[in-house]
């Protein structure tokens, strides 16, 4: 989903394997593997999945929020425009070993 509030909606300037350069930033839409490290100063973004969560903002669609400096990321880890974080959350290399099992750091996915 292309949202006008995202800085890098197509993940062109983000770090992710080729198989994760898509709408979900994942090899399969039901999984998301990202480093839980804000790309601003390395804080830990919180999962804030409820749309309209007033601890974030009334227009919040759900995603990840870094309360330290106010960076916002959508449900796929893509950064909002106008926040301190300069880029999307990083997707590390990973392998889906079996349903429900992911091996992070090993890249055996098709390109």
Do 24 and 32 touch, CB atoms closer than 8 A? yes
Whole-angstrom Cα distance, residue 104 to residue 66? 23
Q: Which residue has 């601003």 as its token pair?
A: 40
Alpha carbon distance 6, 59 (integer Å): 13
Q: Is 69 a catalytic residue?
A: yes
Catalytic residue chosen out of the listed positions 42, 69, 82, 97: 69
Q: What are phi and psi of 65, to 5 degrees?
A: -130, 130
95: helix, strand or coil = strand
Q: Which residues are catalytic?
A: 69
């Amino acid at each position: 989903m292309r949202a006008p509030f995202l800085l890098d909606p197509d993940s062109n300037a983000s770090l992710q394997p080729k198989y994760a350069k898509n709408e979900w930033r994942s090899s399969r839409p039901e999984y998301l593997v990202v480093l839980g490290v804000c790309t601003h100063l390395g804080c830990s973004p919180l999962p804030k999945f409820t749309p309209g969560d007033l601890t974030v903002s009334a227009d919040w669609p759900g995603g990840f929020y870094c309360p330290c400096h106010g960076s916002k990321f959508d449900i796929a880890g893509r950064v909002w425009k106008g926040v301190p974080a300069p880029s999307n959350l990083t997707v590390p290399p990973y392998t889906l070993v079996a349903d429900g099992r992911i091996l992070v750091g090993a890249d055996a996915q098709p390109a």
